[in-house]
Amino acid sequence: MLRRLTALLFMLGWSLTASAASELPLAADKTLEFQIDEATWLSLDVAPDGTQMVIEVLGDLYLLPIAGGQAKPLSLGMHFDSQPRFSPDGQHIAFVSDRDGSEEIWLLEVASGEARKISKSDDILNMPRRPGHRTVVR
């Protein structure tokens, strides 16, 4: 249902967030703002220290205290960010995004909010993994 709503809003030229990504050649001429207190069909990961989690809601990433409270936006825009995972030290979040036009793996520094692309493949599903580990080969 949410995917259909997102697709419908996209076809209408509406953005679900206040800012559009400068990397995409798309421009939203309208915005839609709303508040939610629950979500389904989302991706999430808990920080290694157990104090916060990163969640993906409708293609945007948010940092949320485990105890509850206000979610802090980490990535907003017309791009679709998903499948966030904290680094073992909790300083970075790896995620999949189409912000440059194709799905790639990006790394976001939690403290600064800066994101950089770390994959250069058109097929991230076949990204090489370190043998015996759950990490991406760099």
In a domain, 49, yes or no: yes
87: containing domain: 42-126
Q: What is the mean pLDDT of the chain?
A: 77
In a domain, 10, yes or no: no
In the chain, the number of structural domains is: 1
Q: Is pLDDT of 14 > 90?
A: no
pLDDT of residue 130: 56
**For 41-78, how does the pLDDT look when each residue is reduced to its tens digit (9 = 90+)?**
889 999 999 999 999 999 999 999 999 889 999 998 88
DSSP-assigned letters across all residues of the chain: -HHHHHHHHHHTTEESSS---TTSS---SEE-----S--SS-EEEE-TTSSEEEEEETTEEEEEETT--PPEEEE-SSS-EEEEEE-TTSSEEEEEE-TTSS-EEEEEETTT--EEE----S-GGG--B-TTSSSB--
> Please, which pLDDT band fits residue 32 given cuts at 50, 70 and 90?
confident
pLDDT of residue 17: 37
CATH number at residue 91: 2.40.10
> Please, which pLDDT band fits residue 136 given cuts at 50, 70 and 90?
low
In a domain, 101, yes or no: yes
